[in-house]
């Protein structure tokens, strides 16, 4: 992704109208000023137009930075890859859940043993 900081540095106030659907609207974490920035600014660090502090532009949900430079075919490929990874993760979660259950059972047995040991004293 090319460095085009100058192009995205410009922010507009929310009341200054001209907010497009593709714009990212967020509040400055330092001064709570509402900042509006072009979607291409996602993930970039900008200076708040109000307090001048460095602000990281949030990346909208479901948007990958790399989407900006990819054609639809690439995006689709990435989507499929993401789904595959998601399924793998799901499988792993299932495995971990099963392991957790078995660990909990072991723990219960150990607690039982300890309780019996204490009772014997
Ligand atoms: Zn600010």
Query: Domain-by-domain residue ranges, the chain?
Result: 1-62, 70-121
**66 band by pLDDT with thresholds 50, 70 and 90:** low
pLDDT given at position 94:
93
**65 band by pLDDT with thresholds 50, 70 and 90:** low
User: What's the 20 CA to ligand 1 centre distance in angstroms?
Assistant: 21
pLDDT tens, position by position, 12-50: 544 555 778 788 899 999 999 999 988 888 888 999 999
b/e string for 91-109 if b means 16 or more Cβ within 10 A? eeeeeeeeeeeeeeeeeee
User: What's the 44 CA to ligand 1 centre distance in angstroms?
Assistant: 15
User: What's the 113 CA to ligand 1 centre distance in angstroms?
Assistant: 59
pLDDT tens, position by position, 70-120: 677 777 787 788 888 888 888 999 999 999 999 999 999 999 999 998 887
User: What's the 27 CA to ligand 1 centre distance in angstroms?
Assistant: 8
Residue 93: its H or E element = helix 72-120
């Amino acid at each position: 992704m090319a460095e085009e900081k100058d192009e995205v540095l410009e922010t507009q106030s929310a009341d200054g109208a001209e907010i497009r659907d593709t714009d990212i609207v967020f509040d400055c974490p330092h001064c709570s000023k509402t900042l509006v920035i072009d979607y291409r600014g996602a993930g970039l660090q900008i200076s708040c137009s109000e307090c001048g502090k460095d602000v990281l532009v949030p990346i909208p949900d479901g948007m990958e930075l790399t989407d900006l430079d990819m054609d639809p075919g690439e995006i689709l490929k990435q989507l499929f890859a993401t789904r595959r990874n998601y399924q793998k993760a799901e499988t792993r979660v299932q495995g971990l859940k099963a392991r957790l259950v078995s660990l909990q059972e072991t723990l219960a047995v150990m607690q039982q043993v300890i309780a019996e040991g204490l009772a014997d004293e």
